[in-house]
Structure 1
Amino acid sequence: MKTRIESFKQTKAQLMELFKDELWRICNADESFYGCGIAHGLTYAIKGSEGVDVHMNHNEKKGITIIATIQADGSKLPLTFVCKGLTDACHKQIYDNRVFSNELILHSETGWATKEVFQEYLRWLRKYYNDRYRENPSYIQNDRIYLFLDTYSSHRNAETKKLANLLTCMSLAP
């Protein structure tokens, strides 16, 4: 009997072969916490050392969650930022006209990628593909997207799976 990892590798290889001329259909998304530190910290290092200690006066938990998505052809999709707060007003924590253009900015009470946040991300991903590939004859004929994900709980609940509809979400083995 194949392990989950062997099965995943086989499925991935089959998709890469099947869509070798359409690698934009296959993408991987992952979320990660990014700490927002103050830029005026002190650094200490012995001259010539390989490491540097950075000492900052800030809350290590202050930061945002970022969802990054990359296509199998190497193209990077706009980032998704998840702010901590209850309303769109919390987006001001990170918004800057010089930096952000087409990125998606969402929020949750905890600042984590909850199932509601992840479902909104999936809606955005579908819209992104529809807008970008709407004139592509292959996409018009078959608009399926293959999204590789880890096993985080917001990816696996029934509501998210139902919403994914034409997105084929592949869970990576832990």
Structure 2
Amino acid sequence: MPVAPATPAPAAVVPAPVRVSVADAGIDVPVIPVGVDANQAMELPEDPAVAGWYRFGPGPQSPEGRAVISAHVDMPGYGIGPFSRIRDLAQGTLIEVTDDTGNLTRYRLDSVTYYKKADLPVDDLFARSGSPMLVLITCGGAFDASIGRYEDNVVALATPVQE
């Protein structure tokens, strides 16, 4: 009779993205792994010139699900960040993500959408199954000085280029 091992096999290690670039928009930023903050929202590096990859989800080389990379649009003391240019990307724009093994994954931009923060489709954007996609997120829309944040999130969805 076959016997199952008492210890489950370790989960596959997902290569972490270390850089995202969009040559057409002058975006070229380092990426660090991030988790969730005390409010159960995705953590973000304070410096808007550094992006965060949601480490509890798929990576760029994952065969399914959405790899989420996000950065602040700006920050007092730092100025305007490179992700501020996401809103201006044209459909078909090439996006490149390099992981910590040196592999480069290329994506083509499908869409850029503004969502009110309360309406952000979190379950869809952070999906761990389904077709692989890259999700880039930053803030946008009007700035509400009374609460110190932007009203919207700008979301870019991109599909891997088959090479």
Q: Which one has the largest radius of gyration? A: 1
TM-score normalized by the length of structure 2: 0.30
TM-score normalized by the length of structure 1: 0.28
The structure with the greater share of residues assigned to helix is 1
